[in-house]
Structure 1
């Protein structure tokens, strides 16, 4: 059984974080924007991060070259081609609308470019999708309320809302009213919690935001009661191993807690987070993690099964994918 060729779902991937340097330079040239780097190599040399904020600084620089609907289409299409190579058959991607609207780009330009690409990916590549709009947590809650009408207006394209950006110092409780409104309007709720922030942030995501899924969640292992609560509620963790390594959440990949998560019956999944910046797409994460911690075939299969069970697909669609996984894994 090979993780590489098994069908899989990806549930934690920031589409802006799949912006490869070569494409960034191409779009910048097309739009007449000068990047502060002499070459692709000079840009890649900056991808040595000590923490989340170091990464975010360069991430937002990359966003700045995206101006037109075709730019957003091209970014999404490039990810879809990578996803096809890795046998992803379903993806649930994040995008950061405020990273673009705060630069004067209209919300419609952003969502229409992304949505058109994913519809083409569904038709031409056989990859189904869901889109989740994330609020930037380093901004005040009111900024989320300001952009929320646009998200609601495109509810036919956007299935859920999330919370990302700088975690420490920005606990989920700051955004409780915003997420209550989104839940009332029928959006799925996810939130980054327990990556760099403490286990308490995960408690807040569960109790105050009423999340349907926890993004990252590594620090739940600091609190056995929290682990049991997550298991009892059937909440999944969207774990991102190479991101954890690159951002120093773990010091070495061999110390990644994925096996401990599985041993505690946590519904962990493997994802690529920001693959252009963190050194790999989903199969790269599986490959390096498998080598580092010695994942068994049974554990690999469970992680892939979890990815579908934790998705926002219908039960009928999930069952179809699980049958395919079981058929190919035998």
Structure 2
């Protein structure tokens, strides 16, 4: 079985940007290994405790933070977005936190309307500033689906407002430390550091070039967490019981609310949901940003999970993770 797993992972092996692969059954790792390099310049070999930028895999943690604060009574999922951001234009009046969590808000994509005066790296607060100028939506809130990084940046700011702590500190104190995810961090340059950090690369004209950061890489709520397969194993097992989220909160996160732009995929709160012929229902999320491509695919009916993290722009890992899962689930 190990050789059969290594075959689809072979493209990550050698003196190239690499990947880390975790396969978990009933909370126990069946496969836990890494391929290739986490740092080409220093020839650092990737290991299971290498930390990769999760990109949009971050969204499940942002959603969990909001659900925890709802459990605390600090906010309500049906709060109007303008309750938390009265500076937003009138068009946001009908948007709720529930809409934002499920990508049904219609918020404008901030990446499409960055003003030319904003030349440095953006942060979540900059996203709010940009959206304050956008008195329009893609559709009436609650009537359609459009994946929204804008919304998840705002959710990170709401975590700060509702908890009285900044987003990164809240995640550390309420999620990462309690679960023993000691090397996971919502990374802020000059504030925090990433242990055993993988750097991102893109293949250009047959050569790998470091492309670790973009203008939007410092936005935390939509994609700023770094983690490893070892830490994500702890996250995965915590989603089966009440150690972090209540049964009601987990149900909210894992129940499909809306059809996505893929007819085979629905969306809950921070999770995509599909039905597989082999393995049953899946909860999953991918994440891609400049130099990183990642995915976590959970088969809760089988208590089986595949995590694939990589520090390169290609290939897309979701189908690889599914193919590897089917080797075990047949």
**TM-score using structure 1 length:** 0.30
Higher normalized contact order (CA 8 Å, seq sep 6+, divided by chain length): 2
Higher helix share: 1
Higher strand share: 2
